[in-house]
Amino acid sequence: MRSTLLLTTLFFAASRFVVAGEVTATRLDGTAASGILQSWDADWVVLSTASGDQRFAVKELISLRWPNAQVGDQPPPSSTSGIVELVDGTVLPWKSLAASGENILLASAGTEGGTEISLPVANVGVVRFLQLEGPLIEQWNEIRQQALPSDVLVVLKRDGKSLDYVEGVVGNIADDKIDFKLDGESNRVDRAKVAGVFYFRKARPETAKPAVVLQGQSGLRANAASVRMERDHLAIKTLSGDTLVWPVEDLASADYSAGKLVYLSDLEPTSAKWASFVGLPSGVELASTYGEPRRDRSGFGDSLMLFSSEAASDPAQRDKLRTFSKGLALRSRTEIAYRLPSGFSRFTAEVGVDPIAAARGSVKLTISADDERLLEADFTREGRPQSIDLPIAGAKRLHIVVDYGQNLDSGDWLNLCDAKLIQ
């Protein structure tokens, strides 16, 4: 059954046309522009910029981002009671929810006015009634990971300080009661005593990858097969076949990168070897692993960082650092190799010596694709970080060597930040 969607009268007045603030669109080639969102469909995004309207082909986009949007790990408590998770992984925050027969009706938390959305129960995997933190979310995840062969009612115990569960069949959900069959016997459970439900769903064949993943400030995460902007809202078709209407003003990002890029830190290397400058005695395990490659963190355990371009030439700007969530930290002397997946044409990264490294840190970086040397460059802590963009079309193997520079082993941690393969 396809979902139906009811819009509250006040939410989408015909005369209203208000979209979120400035949006930054980034292409696969790294170019970006910021402006006001004018239109958005399966093929094109149009922004109104200071230099006029700019059109972005969706097939060339990595992302849309709303720089001023605030997104946390949990939906804001002021606007959200709980979440619904669809079988395709889409997460919808809601203010109110009821289930009757084959449908679940919820008032979304995407905006103050709200939207009523009707979903087939068959497309819903999880309903959570409360925000959970600390030990409770850990217990919730432990129950979920059991993948029990029935519906599961997750109940609050010890005045809400712990969770337990009961297996059975979940029925109608009202504001105050939940119908639940246990061993064939019908029960009406106080909803206030329930943290949530897991619906039993048979494993489905792997679905297609989403065309775009939408993230909202309210807690929305939509795995979308298609998106179309209609005035101040989006018509979203999820991978599970549901149609949602969501306000543009709630959006924080739209990720188009699936299938278009792969981060190097998400791939398993075919080989990785670090050799200390000074030979280490056998049995010194901690020292012998100190210089091993780090994924998505620095050699010092913190976020990956680089000096800003200005900081490299102006000592007064030394406190200006850029941080990155993805990348590799490699210490001299490291050799690391990857088998390249097919379909990618470029390898890009932001490269420089870690700002925390010793002042004399220097390395020689060599990057090759198959037997072709693509880059050989020296990097020092005092030097300017570099953006690299190397051709890898048709190559089967990527080989990276971080060797000792002029100062030998002196704080030689090189950060390959935002290192990725691009179509």
Q: Mean of the pLDDT values across residues 413-421?
A: 94
One-letter amino acid for residue 230 of the chain: E
Please give the pLDDT value at position 300: 87
Tokens found for residue 25: 């669109």
21-68 under CATH 3.40.1280.10, yes or no = no
Is the predicted pLDDT of residue 278 greater than 70, yes or no? no
Contact 307, 316 (CB under 8 A): no
Per-residue pLDDT of 224-258, as tens digits, reads 999 999 988 999 999 999 999 999 999 999 999 88
Determine which of 88-92, 130-134, 227-231 has the lowest per-residue pLDDT on average.
130-134
Half-sphere exposure of 252 (CA within 13 A, CB side): 15
Alpha carbon separation from 79 to 114, 192, 268, 339 (Å, rounded)? 10, 19, 41, 46
Percentage of residues in the chain with pLDDT exceeding 90?
63
Per-residue pLDDT of 330-386, as tens digits, reads 998 899 999 999 989 999 999 999 988 756 678 999 999 998 999 999 988 777 889
Pairwise CA distance, residues 322 & 88, whole Å: 35
Could you tell me the pLDDT band of residue 109, with boundaries at 50, 70 and 90?
confident
Beta bridge partners of 405: 408
Tokens found for residue 93: 């925050």
Pairwise CA distance, residues 383 & 381, whole Å: 6
Helix (H, G, I), strand (E, B) or coil at 201: coil
Please give the pLDDT value at position 279: 52
Q: Where in the chain is the domain with CATH 2.30.30.100?
A: 21-68
Contact 105, 75 (CB under 8 A): no
Q: Mean of the pLDDT values across residues 308-319?
A: 57
Q: Is 69 exposed, middle or buried (0-12, 13-18, 19+ CB in 10 A)?
A: middle
Pairwise CA distance, residues 13 & 17, whole Å: 9
Determine which of 49-53, 105-109, 253-257 has the lowest per-residue pLDDT on average.
105-109
Tokens found for residue 95: 């203010």
Q: How many CB atoms lie within 10 A of CB 252?
A: 19
Q: Where in the chain is the domain with CATH 2.60.120.1060?
A: 262-422
DSSP line for 391-405: E-TT-SEEEEEEEEB
Is the predicted pLDDT of residue 9 greater than 50, yes or no? no
CATH superfamily of 262-422: NPCBM/NEW2 domain (2.60.120.1060)
Please give the pLDDT value at position 315: 54
Spell out the residues 6+ positions from residue 72 whose beta carbon is closer than 8 angstroms to its own: none
Pairwise CA distance, residues 10 & 5, whole Å: 15
Could you tell me the pLDDT band of residue 115, with boundaries at 50, 70 and 90?
confident
Alpha carbon separation from 75 to 101, 113, 140, 147 (Å, rounded)? 28, 17, 17, 25
**Residue (of 33, 35, 32) closest to 21 by Cα position:** 35
Please give the pLDDT value at position 231: 87
Is the predicted pLDDT of residue 272 greater than 90, yes or no? yes
**Angle made by CA atoms 261, 264, 266, in degrees to the nearest 5:** 90
Q: Mean of the pLDDT values across residues 207-218?
A: 89
Beta bridge partners of 402: 334, 365
**0.85 exceeded by the pTM?**
no
Q: Is 298 exposed, middle or buried (0-12, 13-18, 19+ CB in 10 A)?
A: buried
Could you tell me the pLDDT band of residue 14, with boundaries at 50, 70 and 90?
very low
